[in-house]
Amino acid sequence: MNIRDLMTRNPIICTADTKLTDVAKLMRDEDIGDVLVGDEQTLCGIVTDRDIVVRGLAERDDVTTAVAGDVCSDDVCTVDVDDDIGDVVQTMEQRALRRVPVTDDGSVVGIVSLGDLATALDEESALGKISAAAPSPNQ
């Protein structure tokens, strides 16, 4: 099975100069924990909800002036849409990644998370069950 079979297609992408508050609103509105930074052809980074808290809120006096490029992780590992799931798991394990963008001929076409892999590989594992469960209405 290839990563294209389980990736989330058309991931949310913002520019490096997108206000951090707007990135947070995108995450809330789309019910996601990460936003890619760049465009479909050039990936500059990834912002996670944790980046917003740790690198945004905790390290700045005025978060309203911060932009995605200020807090994003810029050493982004990508995988190819045709990569085997086992190879992607190995890459994520070696680099301690929770999510990885998926490319096709250099263009970003998706993203795959640890939860996606857990659900695909072992639905009965604790992580697989948690990842497959519908979010609670309070979240």
Tens of pLDDT, residues 51-65: 999 999 888 888 889
Name the band, by pLDDT with cuts 50, 70 and 90, for residue 123: low
**Torsion angles phi and psi, residue 102, rounded to 5:** -115, 130
Query: Is 90 within 8 Å of 66 (Cβ atoms)?
Result: no
- Full domain range(s) for residue 32: 3-132
Residue 33 lies inside a defined structural domain of this protein: yes
Look up the pTM and report it.
0.84
Task: Determine contact, residues 106/100, Cβ cutoff 8 Å.
Answer: no
Q: For residues 12 and 108, what is the distance between their CA atoms, to the nearest angstrom? A: 10
Averaged pLDDT score across all residues of the chain = 87
Q: Is residue 137 part of a domain?
A: no
Q: In 2-48, where does DSSP find H-type helix?
A: 20-30
More confident residue, 39 or 90: 90
138 part of a folded domain = no
CATH number at residue 7: 3.10.580.10
Residue 139 lies in a domain: no
User: Does pLDDT of 86 surpass 60?
Assistant: yes
Count CA atoms closer than 13 A to 84's CA, side-chain side: 3
Say if 38 falls within a structural domain: yes
pLDDT of residue 128: 45
Domain count, the chain: 1
What pLDDT score was predicted for residue 87?
A: 94
Q: Give the CA angle between residues 106, 34, 69 to the nearest 5°.
A: 75
